[in-house]
Structure 1
C-alpha cells in the first residue's frame, strides 16, 4: 500500500471541516470540481511517455511532480493585547500532482491502495481551521486509454469525531501502466503569527524526470529560506500587487537512497522555508521577526543559536527569576535532602556527582512518576510518554538552586541540521551540564538515568554553553537578552558495548521432538533499552522499585490506600493495576514473537530481574520461558536444528542498496550477542559443530560465531558489533561484509544424529 505524504511537506497546524455527514454531497461536488480543474492543467511534462534508457530498469519512474501553493491576501485582524495575538484569516490551497510509470510488481503493490486523511477537525487556539482534502486518480494504459478511478468511493479506516482517515483502492493496475494522481487541500485557517515550516523535497526513491513548484503568497507574509545539499535556489519575484511568487524547477533527478542509514537534513536535497506573517512594529528586530513581503535567504550561521538564546532567556526569566518560581526548586532540593536522610545519607556530605543524581531521581519521582487518581490512565501508560527538552531546563534550574553551577549545553542533532545550517532554535538540542563533574543530564522518558547522553547529541562538537544573567539589559525586549553564550564542551560518543543486547538462551528439545524449549534471559544496555522497557515495565513495578530505592517506610499501593479520601477510588486503582499485570504476559509473548520471528507458545516464568532505571544498576534485564517452533526438522531418525534462525530474520542490505555514494549515519554504535546452550537429547550426537564457526572482522564492525561442545551441551556464541555511529561512504563495503556474513549464517544448521 502506498502511504502518500505530500512531497512538499506543509507543517501548518491543519484543522478540518466536514463535521456532519449531510455535507457529504457538498464535498463530492467540490471534489468533482477540483478534479476537473486539475485534469485540465496544460503542462506538457505530464504528457511525457518516453522514459530515458538509463531508467529502463527502475521499478518506478516519476515522470512529473508539480506542486501549487496559493495563499491569498485577504485578512481580518482582531488585536489581542499589543497585537502579538492578531488573528488573520488565511485561505490556503495546495495541490500536489504526480505522474508515475509502474515498471514491476513491486511498484504495482506499492500503489494498489492510496491512503490519506480525508477530513480532520479540531479546535484552534483563537478559532477553528477548516480543511477539505480531495483526491483524483487516473490510470493510463500503454495503449493510451485513460481510466479514471472513482475517488469518491472512499473506505473509511477511522471514523472518529475529530478525524476521518480513509483509503482508496486502485484496481486493475498492471506492469507498464502510468498512474496520474493528485491530492488537493483547501484550507480556511485562522492562525497567529507563529512560523510554519514548508519543505520542498527534491529527492525520492525513484528517478524524477521533472519536478516543479509554484507558489503565490500574499504580501503580508514573510519568508526565510535555505537550500540544502545542492538543492537549487528559489526563483522569487513579486506581482504588481505585492504578491510573492516563487518557482522551483529541477529536471532529471536520479533516485536517492532514502531509508538506509541516511541523514535527510545533511545528505539529501531540499529547500526549507519558514513562512510567517510579517511584523514591523517596535521590537521586531530584537525578536527576530521579518517584515511583511520580505523573502530572505538565510546565511546567518548563528541564527538558531540566537533564537535559542532568546527563548531560554524568557524561560529563565519567567520560570526561575519571577513569581516565586525558584521556591519550587528549593522545595525539590529539600525533598532530595529528605530522601537522602531516609537512605541514611547526609546530603550535605555528598559529592557534586552524588548530589546531582539524588536531585535527578527526586525530580523524576516527584514531577513525573508521582501518582494521581485524576491521571490514572496516563500513569498506567507512562512508559510510552516522551518529554520535551523543557525538562532539561528544569534540571538546570534545580542544579542551579542546589549550587552545582550548571550550564545549558546547546548542540546540533547528529541526524538533523548542522548548527551552521539551522534556521530555528528548535532545530538544536539542549542538555543540562555540570562543568565541575563534566556530566550531561537529560529527561526524555521515565527510564532515563543521570549521566547519560541522548543518542541524537552523541559526538556533537562546536557546542555552545548558556549561562544566564540576573538582570534584563536596558534595551527593547530586554528579557530576551539574559543569555551569555560561551564555547561548550564536546559531547562523547558511546561504544558498541555500551549499547548491547545479550540474549542468553538455554535450549532443549521437547519430548515429541517438534519444538524447542527456551529459557531466556535478555540484557539490554544503553540506547537499546527504552523500546523494550516501555512495553514490558509496569508503572506499579517502577514505583515499588523507587519506593525501595528511597527506603520508603511503606509500599506504593499502601501509601495510596493511606491517602485521605482514597477509599472511594482504591479499588479502581487496584483493578487498573491488576489489568495491566494481565496484559504484561501478552507483552512478553509479543516481544518474543517479534524478536525471534518464530511461533512462540507456553509463555511462563516471565518477569523483570532489573528495571534499568538507576545509573547504579543501569542494565534492563528480563527473563521468560517458552517453547519455540520453526527450528527443528526431522530427517529420518535424525534431527536437523536450524540454529541460524535463532537470530530471527537478520538484517539484509538489498541489492539495489549496495552501490552507495552517501556517508553512513547509523543510529548509534551497537552490538547484538547470543549466548546459546543447546542440550543434546539422550541417544543423539551432534555433528557439524565446526562448520558453525565463522569470523568476519574489519574496522567498521564484525560478525563472529564460536561453537564448542562440552559433554551433552553445544555452546554457541554469536556476536555482531557495529563499532561506530558514522562511517564514510568508502567504508560501506566493509559494513556489507559483516552484515552479509550474519545474513548467511541464518542458514546454519546442526545435525543431531541418532546413535
Structure 2
C-alpha cells in the first residue's frame, strides 16, 4: 500500500503548465521554492519533534505533527482557495515503511465545464535520519503516470527510506474557480488517522464577503475556536495526543469522529448550518421554481402522453390505474434523463463502464415527476433527507446536503419516486437514505394548506431478506486432471444487492430493455437515422464494449476467488433486473479453475471453503472496536454447492463443514448431505442491520469468525 495524497483527488486542476514552455516551468519552480520556504523552513515547534512517547513505541508509525490549513478569498468575481496539508511521521515498522515509500500525486487536471476550476499543486518531501541528517527529495525525479494536456498524475519513490526514519511532507493546492458563478466545494474535515497523532492543528480563514455555513460534530464545542480577524472568519482547532482510528472498516467519520463541516453561502455572513425553517421554505416554495430552468422539461412532459398510449396498445389496456401510471412515469423519466440519446448534441460517445455510472439531477427529476403526475391527478409530496454518511437533518450545513425526491400517492398508496441511477426502482431508496429522517410537504393547495402539510417522517428500511445474493455452483473435477475444477455458477441478486453487479451488464442490452419498458415505437437506429456517422460510431462503441466485457468477466471471477480462471467457457446475463416487476438479476458463468485441489499421494485435498468466495478475516486491531458499525445495507448471502465426487474416490471430512452461529446481529449457518455421488453444501450468511452499536460488535465477530474459519476448511478425496 502506498501513501496517496487523497485531498488532491477531489479537486480539479489546471492545464496552465500543460505545455512544456520554459517560462511557465520557471514560474512554477519559483512558486514551488516559495511554498517550500513558507512551510518547511518555518520554525514550528510541532514539526521539530523527533521522539515518540514510550506508550507508542510498538505502533507501526506515529504522526509527530499534522497541520491542515485553508484560506478562501474572493477577488475579481472569482474564488481562490489555498489548501495545505503538512505531516511529519516517524516510521517504526516495515508496514509503515512500505506505505510511505511512494507517493501518488494528482498534480494537474483541468476542467472548463460549468463547475470547472484552475488548480496547481506543489509537494515537498524531507527525510530525517535518526542521526538528525536531513535529505530533501528532488520532486523533479517524479515519474509521470498520466501526462495529458488536462490531466497530469505523477508518482515518486523515496529511495533509502528505512525503519526509524522520519518523513516530513506537505501538499499545497492553489485552486481558482474557472467561472465567476462557480461555488467552491464544501469541506468536511474529520480528525483522526490510522496512526496516533502527537500534535494536530487546523487553521481555516475565509474572506467574510464569501460567507460561510458551518457545523462542528461529535466533539466538545469548546474545542473549536472561532473568531473574526480583519476581513476573515477564522476557525481553529488544536489537539494533543489524538488516538489512532482502528475502525477503518464500516466507519462513517461524520457520525463518529470530531468533524468540521463548512460550505460557502455567498451571503457575507456566518451561520451555524441550516434549520427546519430553511428546509421548509425551500421545499415548499423554491424547489418548484427550478423545473422551468430545464429546457427539456416541456418536451418530456408532452411526450409521456404518447408513451402512455403506446403502452396501452402494446399491453391491450383500455385504462390504467394511477399506480400503473406512476410506475410507467418512473421508468419513462429514468429513460429520458439517463438513457436516451439526444440527436445533434455531438457529445462524446460513452457506452462502457462509465456510462452506467450516470446519475440524474435530483431537482430535475423531482420537478418532472411532480408536474407529470399532477396531469393525471396523482397527488405528490416533495421530500428531502440527508444521506447517512453525511449525518442527520440536524447536521446539514446547507441545502445542498439534502437529497430531494417525491412521494407519490396513487390509489391510496405511497410510492417513493427517487431515481438514483439507471438501476433504481419505483418505491426504492438509495441505501444512503434508508432509515433516515426526512421532511415532506405538499406543494399544491393554499399557503396555509402547504404549511400545514409540512412534517418529519422516518424513511423505510429494507431487510436482509429483501437484499439477497444467492449462488448455486455445480462443481466437477476434470477427468483428465483432478487438480482442475470445472465450475458452473448461477448468481441471483435482488434488492440493493443487485447494484454489486453493475459492471457485469452491457449498456447496449440495458438500453434495449429500457426502450421496451417505455414502449418506444422506434428503434435506436431509427432515432439516429439522420446522422449515419453518429450511428456508425455507436455501432463501433457497442462492439468494443462487448469485447471488453470478456476481460471484465474474468476479472470478476478473479476478484471473487482471488485466483484467475484458467478459462471462461460460458457467460450470459439471463435477467438484467432493471424493472421491479421482472425477475431479479440473474447471471450464468462456466469456467475452469486451478489452485483449489492439491495432490496428496493417491488422494486429493479440496479447499472447499474457498469456493464460497472471500470472507472477512478480522485483524487483532479490528477486533477492538471503538465506534458503531455503519454498513451500506442489511443483506443475506446464500450458497448451494453441488460437488460431484469423481469415480473411484470417496469423500472424507464433510462433517467439519457443519457450522451454526445465529444471533441478533446476523448468522452463519452451513449444512451438508450426500445425494448419490454428490456432496450438497448449503450456506447462509446474514447481516441483519445496516447499523450496529459497538456493544453488539462481539455478536458480529462471532458469525464473521465462523465464516472466515469456514474458508479454511478442506475435504479429502480418498482413493477407493
Displacement, 1:621? 0.2
Quick check: 2:310–2:521 contact (8 Å CA) kept in 1? no
Residues 441 and 450, structure 1, Cα contact 8 Å, conserved in 2: yes
1:27 aligns with 28
Paired with 1:112 and 1:408, the residues of 2 have a C-alpha distance of 51
Q: 1:647 aligns with which of 604, 612, 615?
A: 612
What corresponds to 1:389 in structure 2? 362
1:574-616 CA-to-partner distances (Å, cap 9, x unmatched) read 4433333333332222222211222312212211111111111
Instruction: Indicate yes or no: 2:477 matched with 1:509.
Output: yes
Q: Counterpart of 1:184?
A: 172
Please say if residues 386 and 436 of structure 2, whose CA atoms lie closer than 8 Å, have aligned partners that are also in contact.
yes
Tell me by how many angstroms 1:189 deviates.
4.8
Q: Does 250-259 or 606-615 show the bigger shift?
A: 250-259
Aligned to 2:422: 446
- Report whether the alignment pairs 1:522 with 2:491: yes
Please say which of residues 32-41 and 721-730 is displaced more in the overlay. 32-41
Match of 2:381 among 396, 401, 407: 407
Tell me how far 1:59 sits from its aligned partner. 1.4
Q: Is the 8 A contact 1:137 1:148 kept in 2?
A: yes
8 Å contact 2:351–2:541 — kept in the other structure? Answer: no
Equivalent in the alignment of 2:134: 146
Q: Is the 8 A contact 1:340 1:358 kept in 2?
A: no
Contact 1:411 1:429 in 2 (8 A): yes
Unmatched 5+ residue regions in structure 2? none
Q: What is the distance in 2 between the residues matched to 1:432 and 1:377?
A: 31
Conservation of the 8 A alpha-carbon contact between 1:11 and 1:196: no
* Structure-1 residue corresponding to 2:17: 18
Aligned counterparts of 1:607 and 1:386: Cα–Cα separation in 2: 26
- 1:206-229 Cα offsets, whole Å, 9 max, x none, are 211111123444443322221111
CA contact (8 A) 2:73 2:210 kept: no
Pairing partner for 1:273 from 254, 258, 262:
262
- Deviation for aligned residue 1:295: 3.5
Deviations 1:381-440 (A, max 9, x none): 532323342324422332222221111222232232200121112212223212331221
Tell me the distance in 2 between the aligned counterparts of 1:634 and 1:24.
62
Of 251, 254, 265, which aligns to 2:240? Answer: 251
Q: Which residue of structure 2 lines up, in the alignment, with residue 80 of structure 1?
A: none
User: Compared with structure 1, are the counterparts of its residues 688 and 187 closer, same or farther at alpha carbon in structure 2 (3 Å cutoff)?
Assistant: closer
Gap change, CA 1:729 and 1:219, over 3 Å in 2: closer
**Are 1:722 and 2:695 counterparts?**
no
Tell me, yes or no, if structure 1 residue 748 matches structure 2 residue 720: no
Does the 8 A contact of 2:381 with 2:440 survive in 1?
Answer: yes
Residue aligning to 2:158: 170
CA distance in 2 between counterparts of 1:485 and 1:41 reads 59
1:42 alignment counterpart? 43
User: 1:333–1:359: 8 Å Cα contact kept in structure 2?
Assistant: no
Confirm or deny that 1:565 pairs with 2:555.
Answer: no
* C-alpha distance in 2 between matches for 1:327 and 1:482: 28
Does the Cα contact within 8 Å between 2:262 and 2:397 map onto a contact in 1? no
Label 1:305 to 1:629 Cα distance change in 2 as closer, same or farther (>3 A): farther
Residue number among 440, 448, 457 corresponding to 1:465 in the alignment: 440
| Deviation readout 1:622-678 (Å, 9 max, x if unpaired) | 102110111101111111111011123311222111111311111100111111000
Task: Give the aligned partner of residue 119 of structure 2.
Answer: 131
Question: Any conservation in 2 of the 1:303–1:422 contact (CA below 8 Å)?
Answer: no
CA distance in 2, matches of 1:375, 1:144: 57
Residue 316 of structure 2 aligns with which residue? 344
Q: Is the 8 A contact 2:300 2:336 kept in 1?
A: no
Question: Is 2:226 aligned against 1:236?
Answer: yes
Contact 1:700 1:735 in 2 (8 A): yes
* Residue 34 (structure 1) shift: 2.1
TM superposition shift of 1:122: 3.1
Instruction: Give the 3-state SS of the residue equivalent to 2:350 in structure 1.
Output: helix
- Matched residue, 1:368: 338
TM-score by structure 1 length? 0.87
Match of 1:161 in 2: 149
1:312 maps to: 287
Aligned-pair CA distance for 1:550? 6.1
Structure 1: give runs of 5+ residues left out of the alignment.
77-86, 278-288, 474-480
What is aligned with 1:81?
Answer: none
**Structure 1: distance between partners of 2:664 and 2:716:** 34
CA–CA distance in structure 2, aligned partners of residues 750 and 503 of structure 1 = 21
Q: How far, CA to CA, are the matches of 1:324 and 1:712 in structure 2?
A: 63
1:144/1:366 CA distance change after superposition, 3 Å? closer
> Following the alignment from structure 2 to structure 1, what is the Cα–Cα distance between the partners of residues 62 and 149?
38
Q: For 1:79-137, what per-residue CA distance to the aligned partner results, in whole angstroms no more than 9, with x for missing partners?
A: xxxxxxxx24x5543332111111111111111111122223333659x8543311111
- The 3-state SS of whatever aligns with 1:529 is helix
Residue 454 of structure 1: how far off its partner (Å): 1.5
The reply on whether 1:378 has 2:347 as its aligned counterpart is no
Q: Distance in 2 between matches of 1:616 and 1:467?
A: 28
SS of corresponding position for 2:107: strand
Give, in whole Å, the separation in 1 of the partners of 2:9 and 2:595: 46
Which residue number in structure 2 is paired with residue 84 of structure 1?
A: none
* In 2: Cα distance, 1:543 partner to 1:237 partner: 55
Q: Distance in 1 between matches of 2:220 and 2:152?
A: 35
1:540 to 498, 508, 514: 508
Secondary structure, counterpart of 2:219 in structure 1: coil
Secondary structure at the residue paired with 1:600? coil
Q: Distance in 2 between matches of 1:93 and 1:606?
A: 50
- Equivalent-residue separation in structure 2 for 1:712 and 1:10 (angstroms): 55
Q: Is the 8 A contact 2:102 2:157 kept in 1?
A: yes
The answer for the alignment partner of 1:333 in structure 2 is 305
TM-score norm. by structure 2 comes to 0.91
Partner of 1:587: 552
Cα distance in 1 for residues equivalent to 2:92 and 2:278: 45
SS at match of 1:152: helix
**3-state SS, counterpart of residue 192 of structure 2:** coil
Which residue of the partner structure matches residue 693 of structure 1? 658
Return the alpha-carbon distance in structure 2 between the equivalents of residues 573 and 4 of structure 1.
37
Deviations 1:42-91 (A, max 9, x none): 21111123322332222111111123434457x33xxxxxxxxxx24x55
Q: CA RMSD in A?
A: 2.9
Superposed displacement of residue 729, structure 1: 0.9
Distance in structure 2 (CA, Å) of the matches to 1:483 and 1:225: 27
Say whether residues 1:496 and 2:464 are aligned partners: yes
Contact 2:529 2:535 in 1 (8 A): no
- The equivalent position to 1:357 in structure 2, one of 311, 319, 327, is 327
